[in-house]
Structure 1
Amino acid sequence: MISLLEVSGVSKTFDGFRAINNLSIQINEPELRAIIGPNGAGKTTFMDIVTGKTRPDTGQVLWGERNESLTGLSEAEIANRGIGRKFQKPTVFENQTVRQNLAMALKNPRGPLAALFFKEPQTDADRINEIAGEIGLADQLPRPAGELSHGQKQWLEIGMLLAQDPRLLLVDEPAAGMTAEEREKTTDILKRAARTRAVVVVEHDMEFVRRLNCKVTVLHEGHVLAEGSLDHVTADPTVIDVYLGRSDA
């Protein structure tokens, strides 16, 4: 494994509220990491800073083998470096088929001429079929995305991100609104994806996090409160006090 992303001493304040407070996190490649914490812990702001949506007041965000600084780069520039983000609500092209959604997401030349003369090469078709198999939608390729279940739309959006071949995938609460069967399948999709890249999952569902079976980072008031296995962090008295609550309370 190599160090892929290093967030070092990052702070961010919004109107007097310190959302991120001297935060330092390191993500390796490949790696599956879960980030948990109470509301307001800084989880979303952390992802906003990594993807360029928000700029930190202080600190550094370093990327890749050359420790390139991401601070100051646009969202598009950061995405082109190989960072993909999936928001909680799936955003797919509902009037297009599953195949068309995946085809549009593939890393191909952009622009009017490319779109005008586009013809799907065999390599793209093979890649689409491969991704559809990975996300469990191989039998849904001709189906309009709008007809998919909530869970299937989540899988399609993950597939669209995988089609861009990111080195880091940030996934926000993928288990929200899913059935137990869909959550189990989503766990499998994310674990497979993390074999060849870094996958960071922000989640509240502790059972879902347990199934991920990965290193867990607990955020609180914008900084790392605890880190380690889920059993390790959930046994930490401070984590119990600020996040999990005491059963004897």
Structure 2
Amino acid sequence: MNALLEVSGISVTFDGFRAINNLSISVAERELRAIIGPNGAGKTTFMDIVTGKTRPDTGRVLWGEMAVNLVGMNEAKIARMGLGRKFQRPTVFEAQTVRDNLLMALKNPRAPFAVLLSRPTAADILRMEEIAVEVGLSAHLHRISGELSHGQKQWLEIGMLLAQEPRLLLVDEPAAGMTPAEREHTTDLLKRMAQTRAVVVVEHDMEFIRRLDCRVTVLHEGRVLAEGSLDHVTANQEVIDVYLGR
């Protein structure tokens, strides 16, 4: 498979601490990838660099068929190029309905007057309803978002990102704080999403990772320690020593 995202030789240091150390990771089109590692391994910094929040000291972040280097671009421009990021804590407009949250997130003109004067078209309504079905919220469209459970808010935020039509979605600890039923739904959702776009999941829960059944990258001290299936990486002695704690 051709790489959609190619992170090559990136390093970044904060106040003398090397958070990322010559890191290289490749993500293919329509790939589901899990990234694991102990606290301080560089998982969040990796996502910050890819999305433009942090600029690396060295290295390149190449995107798409034209291998555009994202280093130096701002976060908004990178997002418009098709990279979406979901943080651990859900951020939705809690005073608005699920329906309105999804409609506001649709990929439409964002100029001030366009936003103020816009009215949803039939195509907008159809796309909003499709996303609601995809994330499992079609029965909750008229509910105020602040009334949703934690898991439902997570799904709504994922839906709002899908409304932007990303080619790559970075998802940070989606299983945190969820009930067993919500975790199962989230697993199914992420696997379905990866059929049409690339999805990278940062997660600590090993059982959740196992249910994703995907390629796993283990980070340690800002570098790739191991890569492969979950069974493969958890059998690696270095991974056992630094992450699994044996």
| TM-score class normalised by the smaller sequence | over 0.9
Which residue matches 1:2?
Answer: 2
Which residue matches 2:92?
Answer: 92
Deviations 1:204-234 (A, max 9, x none): 0000000000000000000000000000000
Which residue matches 1:41?
Answer: 41
- Tell me how far 1:111 sits from its aligned partner: 2.1
- Tell me how far 1:31 sits from its aligned partner: 0.3
Q: How does 1:162-241 map to 2 (within 5 A)?
A: 162-241=162-241
Could you tell me the TM-score, scaled by structure 1's length? 0.98
CA distance in 2, matches of 1:46, 1:129: 33
Q: How many residues align?
A: 246
Could you tell me the TM-score, scaled by structure 2's length? 0.99
Structure 1 unaligned residues grouped into runs of 5+: none
| 1:51 equivalent in alignment to 2:45 | no
CA distance in 2, matches of 1:180, 1:120: 36
Which residue matches 2:29?
Answer: 29
* Structure 1 counterpart SS, 2:50: helix
CA distance in 2, matches of 1:117, 1:91: 25
- Tell me how far 1:114 sits from its aligned partner: 1.4
* Structure 2 counterpart SS, 1:72: coil
Q: Mean Cα displacement is larger for which, 108-117 or 32-41?
A: 108-117
Amino acid at match of 1:35: I
* Structure 2 counterpart SS, 1:20: strand
* Structure 2 counterpart SS, 1:133: helix
CA distance in 2, matches of 1:217, 1:112: 41
* Structure 2 counterpart SS, 1:181: helix
CA distance in 2, matches of 1:112, 1:194: 33
Which residue matches 1:121?
Answer: 121
Amino acid at match of 1:108: N
Deviations 1:69-128 (A, max 9, x none): 001100111111100000000000000000000001000011232123211111111111
Q: CA RMSD in A?
A: 0.7
* Structure 2 counterpart SS, 1:85: strand
Give the ranges of 4+ consecutive aligned residues of structure 1 lying more than 6 Å apart after TM superposition. Answer: none
- Tell me how far 1:166 sits from its aligned partner: 0.3
Which residue matches 2:243?
Answer: 243
CA distance in 1, matches of 2:107, 2:134: 18
Which residue matches 1:159?
Answer: 159
CA distance in 1, matches of 2:112, 2:17: 44
CA distance in 2, matches of 1:101, 1:93: 6
| 1:105 equivalent in alignment to 2:115 | no
